[in-house]
């Protein structure tokens, strides 16, 4: 079966954009088993509370929920198991340095199919304070209101 070219989004972590200031983004692969890939292709994945942990020159995604595949029977794995991220050593080194800085963490932003392979976009992010979240919401509401007024005028 030939691989389909292009990018197909599977899951987004909208909470990450609300909770963090996004600095650097990286694209990486995941070490998955067959039933997990089938379940992810069906869109049964949740990145909401997931984060990336760097340990012993390897990166892992923790807290990502992949629902068990319905026809998977004995081949299904634990939905919350820790999955290895496939990155270059230099990228892992940069991620480790960034995560050791106070206030920074590594969060997954999205999961997508790229040329038939499951890829994850991760980011080095700095946590927002409550007043930052409020100002972001206020700015977005003001922009919506301006657009609404412009549409009414014309």
* DSSP three-state, residue 117: strand
For 67-95, what is the mean pLDDT?
83
Give the CA count within 13 Å in the CB-facing half-sphere of 152.
6
Is there a domain that residue 15 lies in? yes
Kindly indicate the confidence band of residue 91, based on its pLDDT and cuts at 50, 70 and 90.
very high
Is there a domain that residue 2 lies in? no
Is there a domain that residue 103 lies in? yes
Residue found by looking up tokens 């869109």 in the block? 43
Domain residues for the domain of 25 are: 7-128
Is there a domain that residue 141 lies in? no
What is the CB neighbour count within 10 angstroms for residue 16?
A: 21
**pTM strictly above 0.75:** yes
Is there a domain that residue 150 lies in? no
Residue 82 sits in a domain whose CATH number is 2.40.280.10
Is there a domain that residue 114 lies in? yes
Structural domains of the chain, count: 1
User: What confidence score (pLDDT) does residue 2 get?
Assistant: 57
Is there a domain that residue 21 lies in? yes
User: What confidence score (pLDDT) does residue 1 get?
Assistant: 52
Alpha helices in 9-122 (DSSP H): 14-19, 34-41, 89-100
User: What confidence score (pLDDT) does residue 29 get?
Assistant: 92
Is there a domain that residue 140 lies in? no
């Amino acid at each position: 079966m030939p691989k389909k070219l292009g990018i197909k989004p599977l899951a987004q972590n909208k909470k990450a954009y609300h909770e963090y200031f996004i600095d650097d983004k990286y694209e990486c692969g995941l070490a998955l088993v067959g039933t997990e890939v089938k379940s992810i292709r069906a869109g049964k994945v949740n990145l909401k509370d997931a984060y990336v942990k760097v340990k012993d020159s390897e990166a892992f995604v923790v807290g990502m929920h992949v629902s068990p595949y319905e026809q998977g029977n004995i081949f299904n794995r634990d939905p919350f198991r820790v999955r290895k991220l496939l990155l270059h050593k230099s990228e892992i080194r940069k991620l480790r340095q960034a995560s050791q800085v106070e206030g920074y963490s590594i969060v997954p932003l999205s999961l997508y199919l790229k040329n038939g392979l499951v890829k994850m976009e991760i980011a080095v992010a700095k946590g927002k304070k409550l007043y930052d979240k409020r100002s972001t919401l206020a700015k977005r509401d003001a922009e919506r209101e301006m657009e609404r007024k412009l549409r009414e005028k014309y």
